[in-house]
Amino acid sequence: MTPETCARRALGDRPEGLAHRLGLGLFPELCVVCGRPVAIRDRYRDICPACVTRLPWRLPSEMSIPLVSSSLLGLFSAKDYRDARQQRLIVPFHYEETTRRLLRQLKFHDAEEYAHVFAGPMADALRLVLYSRLERERGRRPGRRLAGALDSALVLPVPLSAGRRRERGYNQAERIARPLAALLGLPLIETALWRRRETGRQTQLDNTGRLANMRGAFAASPEICSGATFLLVDDIATSGLTLYEAGSTLRAAGARDVLFVVAASPSRPESLPSGARHVYADALFRAH
């Protein structure tokens, strides 16, 4: 924990709290990567511009990827396949050493400054992808629909099971979703979706097992979902199966549209040489 964080906690102060509003400035933000002070004018909070440039950014053309990994799509029914193929995941970063370290800090130490590092780039990636698509597809319905969807979306973190949440004390997806919602000027809602059961670690399962394990894992509130558009938020997406299942549950409960955004996603096995795929899969599911 940085001295700044200690001090903030001791004072019960959050950035939007009293000391911040009074501009006391006793504790300048420190970069979570290199520890140097971060100037207030910097674009992203809690990280300095030099470290921002060294993060494993995706190219703009790689910030919108298929929601579900193609290695799993082949196992879907014809209807689910058609449905899943149309869905896109928006993601600003590759899942590499730096992003892995920062996301683990967030996951296991509940340090909110790590959430800020991701929320800003996620908001930018959403705007970049959805509005540039709007430009490209000017006059065509899908672009208009997606950009319009973001304007009216409810921000929804992917829920943990009740047991896991109790054990950890918080949901890391919610930690990212909250500043993201503030940056986008959208409401955050946590009660629309919940886990019906613990799905456990998927490490030991093959693709068919993972699919069966996730099916029916979520339940959603028809009262909240009816006619609503959601921006579903998580920290990491690997196969995309968790997000797909959560999104399908929301739509089955009446949601009109679901957009998907995560902080980081590893390169998918289909984009690697075949010899590297086992290594990828092992590393991936151990890390998760």
Interface residues with Zn ion (CB under 5 A) are: 31, 33-34, 48, 51
Give residues with Cβ within 8 angstroms of 250, minimum separation 6. 156, 192, 193, 220, 225, 230, 232, 258
48 vs 255 by CB, closer to Zn ion = 48
Buried (b) or exposed (e) across 243-252, using 16+ Cβ within 10 A? bbbbbbbbbe
Tell me how far, at minimum, the Cβ of 232 lies from Zn ion, in Å: 30
69 vs 105 by CB, closer to Zn ion = 105
Token match 């000017």: residue? 138
42 vs 80 by CB, closer to Zn ion = 42
Tell me how far, at minimum, the Cβ of 36 lies from Zn ion, in Å: 5
SS3 219: strand
37 vs 60 by CB, closer to Zn ion = 37
The count of other CB atoms within 10 Å of the CB of residue 169 is 7
Tell me how far, at minimum, the Cβ of 54 lies from Zn ion, in Å: 8
53 vs 86 by CB, closer to Zn ion = 53
The contacts found for 186-190 with CB under 8 angstroms, 24 or more apart, are 186/153, 186/154, 186/155, 186/231, 187/154, 187/155, 188/154, 188/155, 188/156, 188/157, 189/154, 189/155, 189/156, 189/224, 190/156, 190/157, 190/159
